[in-house]
């Protein structure tokens, strides 16, 4: 019998995303938001997240992907996408963009696949893409109350470099930025 634990220990391939991956990325995105932000965001907001809307967004991004960085997926041997990372140029005019040349826009994994080293491998793939594009630094925003993600970024060598308020679902929350000025340690991680 196949269990979630046995699936989580199966080999996972990290590869660049294609436009055909948009529906699977959207499913992971919605499912991960619903588990990651439970208790941080209103339940009705999380329940109302639309896979169809996220699919359309990801299809647009993947069909127009031309910025440094890119989108990478974590795919099981049976072809199931269980996580992704996306990054590129900084998304807004925050002063951090004057210091950091890239931004990790999103990283999400299905709950059964977390704490398996897959997230580290996804960040490594993005860091390698940043290096190839000539970007030597990047940052990532995370909700201040998302303690597991904050521990993840700190374990990868990220330093807290900023904060800002953000409004989601009518709530004003605090985001914290983690920054990396040296890609070397990330690139030294196993692929």
Rounded mean pLDDT, 168-182: 95
User: What's 111's DSSP letter?
Assistant: G
- Asked whether residue 2 carries a pLDDT value surpassing 70, the answer given is no
What pLDDT band is residue 103 in, cutting at 50, 70 and 90?
Answer: very high
What pLDDT band is residue 9 in, cutting at 50, 70 and 90?
Answer: low
CA 57, 59, 62, 63 dihedral sign is negative
- Which pair of tokens denotes residue 135? 């970007």
Taken in order of first residue, the domains within the chain and their CATH numbers are 4-187 (3.40.630.30)
CA 33, 89, 69, 58 dihedral sign is positive
What distance in Å separates the CA atoms of residue 118 and residue 35, rounded to the nearest whole number? 17
Each residue of 145-167: b (16+ CB within 10 Å) or e? ebeebbebbeebebeebbeeeee
What distance in Å separates the CA atoms of residue 136 and residue 182, rounded to the nearest whole number? 7
Q: How many CB atoms lie within 10 A of CB 105?
A: 20
Rounded mean pLDDT, 102-113: 96
What pLDDT band is residue 189 in, cutting at 50, 70 and 90?
Answer: confident
pLDDT at 190: 82
pLDDT at 68: 73
């Amino acid at each position: 019998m196949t269990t979630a634990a046995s699936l989580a220990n199966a080999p996972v391939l990290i590869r660049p995303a294609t436009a055909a991956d948009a529906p699977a990325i959207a499913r992971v995105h919605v499912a991960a938001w619903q588990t990651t932000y439970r208790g941080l965001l209103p339940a009705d907001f999380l329940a109302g997240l639309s896979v169809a809307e996220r699919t359309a967004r990801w299809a647009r991004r993947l069909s127009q992907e031309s910025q440094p960085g890119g989108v990478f997926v974590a795919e099981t041997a049976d072809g199931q996408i269980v996580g992704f990372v996306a990054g590129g140029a900084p998304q807004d005019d925050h002063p951090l963009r004057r210091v950091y040349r890239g931004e990790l826009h999103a990283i999400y994994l299905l709950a059964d696949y977390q704490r398996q080293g897959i997230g580290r491998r996804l960040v490594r793939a993005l860091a390698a893409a940043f290096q190839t594009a000539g970007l030597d630094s990047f940052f990532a925003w995370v909700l201040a109350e998302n303690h597991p993600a904050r521990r993840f970024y700190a374990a990868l060598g990220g330093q807290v470099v900023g904060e800002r308020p953000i409004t989601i679902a009518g709530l004003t929350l605090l985001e914290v930025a983690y920054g990396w000025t040296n890609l070397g340690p990330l690139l030294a991680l196993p692929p």
